[in-house]
Amino acid sequence: MGEEAIAALIARSRRDVDQRLLPSCQIALARHGELVVDETFGAPPSSRYVTFSVTKAFSAAVAWLLIGDGQLAPTTRVAEVVPEFAANGKSQVNVEHLLTHTAGFPRAPMRPEEGAQRVARVERMTTWRLDWAPGTQTAYHATSAYWALVELIDRLTDDDFRRVFTERIATPLGLATLRLGVAADDAADVVPLIAVGDVGADGQTLGSHVGETAEGFLLRFNEPEVLAAGVPGAGAVARAADVAMFYQALLDDRAGLWDPNVLQDGTANVRNTLVDPLFKVPANRTLGLMVAGDDGQAVVRGFGRHAGPRSFGAPGVGGQIAWADPDSGLSFCYLTNGLDADVVASFTRAAKIAGLAGRCA
């Protein structure tokens, strides 16, 4: 590992906290199954962070378990398992559509409190309508598609997706801080989210493109009932170190959690190459993740300039990022509790830090 590159990564990560642009942040870098960097700036080292859309990888990983078990397939239609979901013309939506952001209901509403209660969750999903035929277009489904996914998981396992994740993934991997949903009496170490920064009248702010990333919605994750909901597309909590080690498990599944073919599919098989309407580049989405690609657009996808083309991961609002690179063996996670009003600034920050992490091999 390059000591100078690691020093540069650490210095750049802490700079925004030292300059009071962010209240705190946490970074972790791992390679070949070992944690190399574990640093926290502006908060106690034991702090956990809400992981926002970085969460999507965790929920997708549960779906991969069920695919490997033969309980689920990418072609499984939601309505086959959840008949109520078919209402309003949604009978053809399948698992692949949910996990590749092509399901057709990107703005379908679901309050976290509703999603946490299965009866209310299903009632809400029956009201959803399609904006397009499933599979024909792509747009970011910030939370909606993953609520449908976990209803599938709950019915097929006769359990709760939050518990399934803990028992079948987090615990076997020794990821003690990584949880989908935390009760109020277990959340003392979760740092509060804080709105920071400013942007001009013509700037892009939180929520400019995706309603669920608006400041008011994101700050609700400071509320105990929202944190406990474990919003499957945006509401896990973790230390960055456990996220980086989760990605190490995706690179080398030493615990044998996933069927090898399913894991390869989920981390490498790009199923959605439709042009993302926000970033104007091919979406490059697998069953739950994004791949950096070799088309020169890895930076636009949030991986930084030094990520290998096979790198896979999931970015999150506020400039959060988590990824792994099969070519270098690196995995990396950057988390912050600062909700920067300037989304361009937060994206630029994340791309720079991710790029520095990619140099560390």
Q: What is the CATH number of domain 3-54+179-358?
A: 3.40.710.10
Q: What does the alpha-carbon distance between residue 214 and residue 169 come to, in Å, rounded to a whole number?
A: 31
State how far the alpha carbon of 184 is from the alpha carbons of 5, 139, 189, 226, in Å.
39, 33, 10, 10
Tell me the pLDDT of the chain (361 aa) as tens digits.
689 999 999 999 999 999 999 999 999 999 999 999 999 999 999 999 999 999 999 999 999 999 999 999 999 999 999 999 999 999 999 999 999 999 999 999 999 999 999 999 999 999 999 999 999 999 999 999 999 999 999 999 999 999 999 999 999 999 999 999 999 999 999 999 999 987 655 555 544 445 556 788 899 999 999 999 999 999 999 999 999 999 999 999 999 999 999 999 999 999 999 999 988 999 999 999 999 999 999 999 989 889 899 999 999 888 999 999 999 999 999 999 999 988 888 989 999 999 999 999 8
Judge: domain 64-161, CATH 1.10.1060: no
Parts of the chain belonging to CATH 3.40.710.10: 3-54+179-358
pLDDT of residue 206: 45
Which segments of 19-83 does DSSP mark as H helices, in order? 56-69, 78-81
Q: What does the alpha-carbon distance between residue 212 and residue 66 come to, in Å, rounded to a whole number?
A: 28
pLDDT of residue 212: 54
State how far the alpha carbon of 141 is from the alpha carbons of 37, 163, 275, 293, in Å.
32, 24, 15, 21
Give the 3-state DSSP-derived string for 142-207, with helices as H, strands as E and coil as C: CCHHHHHHHHHHHHHHCCCHHHHHHHHHHCCCCCCCCEECCCHHHCCCECCCEEECCCCCCCCECC
Parts of the chain belonging to CATH 1.20.58: 64-161
Helix pair 240-251, 56-69: axis angle to 10 deg: 30
